[in-house]
Chains A and B, each alone.
Chain A
């Protein structure tokens, strides 16, 4: 166990999450907010620890028995922790969460983050499976955290059934993999590329697809996202997806390159299908949460292009896009949450609720417009740089067809993103009172906004750090 120190950020975060769970018993419900504050502070602490391992690569990085801690994994870990912080800030302003059990909520969220951090570092299928289960089990509970809300329960149960199913498939895939290679360790696998090995690999891929909401394993997404409390939705649409895609990059471009098994075409098809399904279904959504859910499916499709391309630019593109995606998606969900916080019950997230937002709170409407434009990849916002990088990966690797499908999808996506803008700017408001945005939500929004504007106009620092982070062990 001499290499356990590599996982010190994860261990610290997990330990503190358990501490928060215990603290829940001693903190009165009316002081529940305190635990949220502790939660994001703890995440920032873990973020600092990850940052330390990046700056001290000799002491903090290396290959362990089941894990590899390298610039790439640390990049994803920082993203996951950043998402966790921002979602907890959103949670502070979310009124529908029960004041009791705040500690449980924060603890589950942090454990989920721990699972993701393990996932992006994993170089052994056993750890991969355990990490995925840790993410899934916590996510199921988080999605159903609003116990009195039927939609929340429904989404959670669907999510659970689908998740259990895909976990089983993945476990079976791992057993086949073990049968073919005699090991679960992914480093230096001596495989024969035979049918059993490939079948195992495909089943493992299917398990990943579930978590990253890649078609055809995306069916749980809209219901789970719609029902879950909005901060959880934002979290689910970002952290598990990014972590899974990070793990997929490691597995399918580094450890067992897809091109070595002629699986490139499969990834191209998956990317194209995911984008297209997400975008064309989002067309018909009138609920902003569902719309953003389908949009997040499409975004996963764009990121998958980076993996399908299989080149260095593709890997860098996955990292870059993931970073940008965090900022723009969390921003969109934060605005949606603050708009919905004014109305009660059904219809709070309908497009109609956004009517005339530009008259009520111009800044908020402008921010939402920028987030959506960034999601659709319009310069000079950061989303453009992400798309640009991903598309150039596809062009460089010669996947012109995939690039064409991707840009057509971008155009299609503008239509439904602009539907929200249409309601915000063109429709008159039913009630003209400005929206009150709480200080923590405001802070989260400001961070996200600064991210997409600054890195849209001057992406050099981001691009340079992504290029430095796209290095891996072993």
Chain B
């Protein structure tokens, strides 16, 4: 059974079907999109019981000859690092599609690009051939360009092209790094599993150069300081559902690449870079939090909080230990869920009030209690309140980082403080205090909005109370990864 291929390409079939439908038939288009993303989600969930949690090997591996003349093959497979991310992607894509049902303009194009984007994201997490990986990686660019550029906010065109050029500039160097790796392996291969065993033949200098090529692509995607400047713009201008995808899945592609390629294939390069990586992690945490604190736009604040949270992941990665890796992967999942719901919630208020200015509101808790409750929960989860998802993973990242980098980790804790500060400030200004009479007519959340957000909230609580739910998948792989180069 080619389960992974099915999961990946059902959305593509949906996209082609959407393309074939006449653009007036909005309902049919929406149904097709939801059905294909839903089928993909259902299949990926069906894989859960089949996934062997005790093994760190690649599972569900598929191997087909694709371009044998160029040694390029179609190889898919997942392990404890990529499988949770795969689930996250199908899940968030489905949720975001529900959140997209409110799109009124050019519906057909929207769902077409959205489904193509999903194919690209899924493929990145599954591909085990570097060229295939690159193809999927780039496949995410064009749909995102259109999704931001057509359905975005006031500066959408600029945000779209900036996103496109920025990420492309990174990924072309990845392409060169891929070629360099290929020609320096005997026998020449693009197979990622084979390359993970080939690095002992590479010199330190070569590994550093190749590492930098890959790192540039991944750092831009994560985004790691100083390559984060595209992110606030793209997040703010993108339509709500696309911001969700950007934050919840696209950023994870960078971290996934960092672990899969930079760490597992280029250990010498990775170790050479570690002192820089930890510094970047701390800058991401502290600087991201401080920037978020300075924002008056709620969406921009959440965007910068992503920079901050990606810093925690980097901190966990820089710990180079089982707990650090587990924490980083769990933090990716949790950030996806929590920030996904934050963006959706900000979208809810923006749809009604047509502003996201924090100071424009006040006392909304009394007017829209369900909305306020969900928002409080998401914010608390994001700032790391024990009992909710964010706490567990952040704690693990700190634990992983602290073993190696005591001072850096201590500085990072300041970032947690700032994170708490900006979320609490936002909650206070928007929801507490006297009700701003301008918003007296505000309605609470609709059924469709609840449908898209409540599943995320449920997971936030579930992973907070019982993190083993997610960690069980990650653990074996994390232990194996930490033991790779001692």
Contacts and interface: CB of A to CB of B under 8 A. Distances in A.
B175 interface: yes
B138 interface: yes
Interface string A354-387: 0000100010000000000100001110001000
Nearest to A459: B67
Contacts of B142: 373, 378
A422 interface: yes
Majority SS of interface residues in chain B? Answer: helix
B13 interface: no
A404 B145 contact: no
A426 B179 contact: no
B179 A392 contact: yes
A464 B69 contact: yes
Contacts of A294: none
Interface stretch (B160-168, B235-243, B274-282, B304-312): B160-168
Contacts of A358: 106, 109
Nearest to B177: A395
Given A414-B165, A459-B67, A395 B176 contact: yes
Nearest to B65: A460
A415 interface: yes
Nearest to A389: B70
A426 B154 CA distance: 12
Nearest to A396: B183
A378 B175 contact: no
Among A380, A411, A458, the one with the most B-chain Cβ atoms within 10 Å of its Cβ is A411
Contacts of A450: none
Majority SS of interface residues in chain A? Answer: helix
Contacts of A171: none
Nearest to A415: B165
A410 interface: yes
Contacts of A395: 176, 179-180, 183
B273 interface: no
B173 A391 contact: no
B376 interface: no
B139 A388 contact: no
Contact of B135 (A373, A379, A411, A422): A379
A160 interface: no
A460 B69 contact: yes
B227 to A, nearest CB: 14
Contacts of A373: 142
B127 to A, nearest CB: 12
A358 B135 CA distance: 25
A407 B172 contact: yes
Interface in A411-458: 411, 414-415, 418, 422, 425-426, 458
A422 B176 contact: no
A137 interface: no
Contact of A410 (B66, B145, B172): B172
B149 interface: yes
A460 B131 CA distance: 14
Contacts of A400: 176, 180
Nearest to A392: B179
A25 interface: no
A463 interface: yes
Interface string A261-278: 000000000000000000
B23 interface: yes
B57 interface: no
Given A425-B146, A426-B157, A411 B168 contact: yes
B68 interface: yes
A232 to B, nearest CB: 31
Contact of B173 (A407, A414, A426): A407
A467 interface: yes
Given A358-B109, A388-B131, A414-B165, A463 B138 contact: no
B350 interface: no
A340 interface: no
B17 interface: no
A407 B175 CA distance: 9
Given A358-B109, A418-B161, A460-B69, A407 B176 contact: yes
A335 to B, nearest CB: 17
Interface string B183-224: 100000000000000000000000000000000000000000
A230 to B, nearest CB: 27
A391 B69 contact: no
A168 interface: no
Contacts of B183: 392, 395-396
A458 B74 CA distance: 11
A362 B69 contact: no
B150 A411 contact: no
A411 B161 contact: no
A285 to B, nearest CB: 17
B327 to A, nearest CB: 33
Interface in A249-304: none
A316 B340 CA distance: 47
B165 A403 contact: no
Interface string B122-136: 000000000100110
A48 interface: no
Contacts of A161: none
Contact of B139 (A362, A380, A403, A415): A380
Interface string B81-115: 00000000000000000000000001011000000
B213 to A, nearest CB: 10
Contacts of B134: 379
A463 B157 contact: no
Contacts of B157: 422, 426
Contacts of A459: 67, 70
Contacts of B165: 411, 414-415
Contacts of B149: 422, 425-426
Interface in A53-109: none
Contacts of A407: 172-173, 175-176
A269 to B, nearest CB: 20
Contact of B164 (A391, A418, A464): A418
Contacts of A422: 149, 157, 161
A362 B23 contact: yes
Contacts of B66: 458, 460
Interface string B55-77: 00000000001111110000000
A22 interface: no
A308 B139 CA distance: 30
Contact of A362 (B70, B109, B141, B156): B109
A384 B109 contact: no
A128 to B, nearest CB: 31
Interface of A: 358, 362, 373, 378-380, 384, 388-389, 391-392, 395-396, 400, 403-404, 407-408, 410-411, 414-415, 418, 422, 425-426, 458-460, 463-464, 467
27 contacts: A358-B106, A378-B138, A378-B141, A378-B168, A384-B135, A392-B182, A396-B179, A396-B183, A400-B176, A400-B180, A403-B176, A404-B176, A407-B172, A407-B173, A407-B175, A410-B172, A411-B169, A415-B165, A418-B145, A422-B149, A426-B156, A426-B157, A460-B65, A460-B66, A460-B67, A460-B68, A464-B69
The 3 lowest CB-CB distance pairs between A and B, nearest first, are A407-B172, A379-B135, A395-B179
Given A384-B135, A460-B65, A460-B67, 6 more contacts: A411-B165, A414-B164, A415-B161, A415-B165, A422-B149, A425-B146
